[in-house]
A and B are shown apart, each in its own frame.
Chain A
Amino acid sequence: MLEVKDLHVTVEGSEILKGLNLTVNPGEVHALMGPNGAGKSTLSAVIAGKDGYEVTSGEVLFEGKNLLEMEIEERALAGILLGFQYPVEIPGVKNIYLLKAALNAQRVARGEEEIPAPEFMKLVREQLSFMKMDGSFLQRAVNEGFSGGEKKRNEILQMLVLQPKLAMLDEIDSGLDIDAMKVVAEGINSLRNADRAILMVTHYERLLEHIVPDRVHVLVDGRIVKSGDKNLANELEARGYEWVLEESAA
């Protein structure tokens, strides 16, 4: 589904990704771990199409299409959705309005009719209660005045409504208490199916207790230096990153 080949990315003149390779297949959950500044968030930003990242070489394919030539919204409409570490506040724009505009943009791109209002409300209310969110969320401005936990839940709510093919979650666990973490993890687990891939960027092994990944990658200095199964995450938690560095240098 997603193929990243020898990706080199420069931000403001300095190289952050230095030949990254990654393949993600449908149905798989991948966790991308690594120390601060390794380039974890850069990868998801480049895949989503954020400005300010210069791809100097390599390619990124999504279902065989060259992602790097696509506009940000085209990537989203192709089925890629990024859950932000710090979702931005958009005063004046109701949450429900954003959800509906996003869902309808998808449907229109697929040549379908816009969703009828009652059907949309039913869909949203179901997912809302699954995420243990109050109905008032819909009437509030997007992320405005939301607590850290509310923002993260809102990101997952969008995923549940928009049903992406590839869900990318950037540090979705940061700033969550245990209860919120459980709700968010349940939301993510409910997204798991044979056709969907999930790519999680995280610092800590903690999240992976709730969402068991199929593959774990260690990103150090712009390259994936080690990959393994869920046990790798446990090992990282116990031993830190140093040994991986030494191993890869050897």
Chain B
Amino acid sequence: MASQEMEELVQREYTQGFVTDIESDTVPPGLDENTIAFISNKKGEPEWMLEWRLEAYRQWLTMTTPSWAHLDYPPIDYQAISYYSAPKKQEDKPQSLDEVDPKLLETYEKLGIPLHERAALAGVAVDAVFDSVSVTTTFKEKLAEAGVIFCSISEAIREYPELVRQYLGSVVPQGDNYFAALNSAVFTDGSFVYVPEGVECPMELSTYFRINAANTGQFERTLIVCDKRAQVSYLEGCTAPQRDENQLHAAVVELVALEDANIKYSTVQNWYPGDEDGKGGIYNFVTKRGDCRGDRSKISWTQVETGSAITWKYPSCMLRGKDSVGEFYSVAVTNGRQQADTGTKMIHIGEGTRSTIISKGIAAGRSDQAYRGLVKVGPRAKNARNFTQCDSLLIGDRCGAHTFPYQEIGNSSATVEHEATTSKIGEDQLFYCQSRGISEEDAVNMIVNGFCKDVFQELPMEFAVEAEALLNVTLEGAVG
């Protein structure tokens, strides 16, 4: 197969691009303390929250954009971004799906998220975020029975201020990094989960994020707290409409696991990656961090990243508790002109802490991706163990994959293993499969899915099926 055809094979149009016409209640572009006060006021927040935001803003002003990532993009004009946008009927928020704007429901339908059906059939509670305000929350009652709190972060700030105040920023402090500081100042919505002591959350929690107002950066803030011996599995998936303006997304996700708690956080990310020249895609600068605060606690990140023009994302684990466990399973697919710098940090602080990193990168077209991982073993982390495996698969000869593993080992009893491979879907492999009667498209899917299976098997069942389908769609494109 000529490299021209190989190219066509991996090209595809974004099929979920469309814009729903809902009048937004949007502030003019620009960021200063007044904007932040406006957001805080709109949200009906208490005074301490506004102060917290302003502290973050003042820190952000002193910071500069990180430049160490293997990414190339023009400087972002933060004064050109509008920091608040909400569907107009925010004051009288719908109490049930019947009251939801039909256009909005239509949007979900197009995305393949028939909310009512899906939620009921799959037994999944859905806290859907449209632009910046939560529209509907289902299964609240069932969760309430179990004592699980699952609501928007704004609601949590009003209804459970003590919990929020105790944990917000305790994993990712306001001044942690440039994008986290910006998020802390201006975040508008996101999810809050609290699973009380000894409770196993009765269903998988799912949130669909979606960006829809032109020129509006979206700043999600998610906080998940699992008390002692509690368990939760949280699914996050998102997609966005096609548009020309670059959209900034700077989310912060904080996870806190107390003694013997177990948090599983799974993501399927499919934001608009931009057109063939990379124009118009989402900038995805995310800070995700989990804190294994209690002994024997466990946090597991699983992600399938196929979207965004630029991804900057390192879901990490702070392994403080004795014998706590951190895991990171990742599949990142880049195509066209996408760029991704992603990976993880495993910070071993407590004794007997263990971590596993499995990263699978697939680069096609003219895309470029980097795995960046830090394994740090502190002086008190006796017998800490890490296993890292990062594999890259290249499709075509104009893409790139890079691996930047960092290790800082401060305790000689630690065991740290690192394995890395780079391979290429060769014309020979495709010819071999085709000469057995398997179509080119199926052959690519077979090879890619085989490459990713270690990660897919970590995803919750329904997500694994979606992820596989998403990968196939992502890479099939112009075949046939």
Contacts and interface: CB of A to CB of B under 8 A. Distances in A.
Interface string A63-82: 00000000111011100011
Given A50-B431, A51-B1, A88-B432, A93 B446 contact: yes
A102 B438 contact: yes
B437 interface: yes
Interface residues of A, number: 31
Contacts of A92: 447, 449-453
Interface string B424-448: 0011110111111111101000110
Contact of B435 (A76, A97, A142): A76
Interface in B59-97: none
Interface in A64-118: 71-73, 75-77, 81-82, 84, 87-88, 90-94, 97-98, 101-102, 105-106, 109
A48 interface: yes
B453 A72 contact: no
Chain B residues touching A, majority SS? helix
B432 A73 contact: no
Given A51-B2, A76-B437, A88-B426, A93 B432 contact: no
A73 B440 contact: yes
Contacts of A50: 431, 435
Given A51-B1, A93-B447, A98-B446, A88 B435 contact: no
Nearest to B421: A91
Contacts of A101: 433, 436, 438, 442, 446
Interface size grouping (class) on chain B: 20 to 34
B437 A106 contact: yes
A81 B432 CA distance: 10
A82 B438 contact: no
A213 interface: no
B437 A77 contact: yes
B407 interface: no
B435 A91 contact: no
A1 interface: no
Contacts of B432: 84, 87-88, 90, 142
Contact of A81 (B2, B436, B438): B436
A152 to B, nearest CB: 14
B438 A73 contact: yes
B457 interface: no
Contact of B436 (A49, A76, A109): A76
Residue from A88, A91, A92, A93 having most chain B Cβ neighbours under 10 A: A92
A109 B450 contact: no
B423 interface: yes
B453 A73 contact: no
A177 B426 CA distance: 29
A181 to B, nearest CB: 23
A141 interface: yes
A101 B450 CA distance: 13
Contacts of A106: 437
Lowest 9 A-B CB distances belong to which pairs?
Answer: A92-B450, A76-B437, A93-B450, A102-B436, A72-B434, A105-B437, A92-B451, A88-B428, A73-B434
Interface of A: 48-51, 71-73, 75-77, 81-82, 84, 87-88, 90-94, 97-98, 101-102, 105-106, 109, 141-142, 158, 162
Given A76-B434, A102-B437, A105-B442, 18 more contacts: A48-B431, A48-B435, A73-B434, A73-B435, A73-B440, A81-B436, A88-B429, A88-B432, A90-B450, A91-B451, A92-B452, A94-B450, A97-B450, A101-B433, A101-B442, A102-B433, A141-B450, A162-B437
26 contacts: A48-B431, A50-B435, A71-B434, A72-B435, A73-B438, A76-B434, A76-B437, A81-B436, A84-B432, A87-B432, A88-B432, A90-B429, A91-B450, A92-B447, A93-B446, A98-B433, A98-B436, A98-B446, A101-B433, A101-B436, A102-B433, A105-B436, A105-B437, A105-B438, A141-B450, A158-B436
Interface of B: 1-2, 423, 426-429, 431-440, 442, 446-447, 449-453
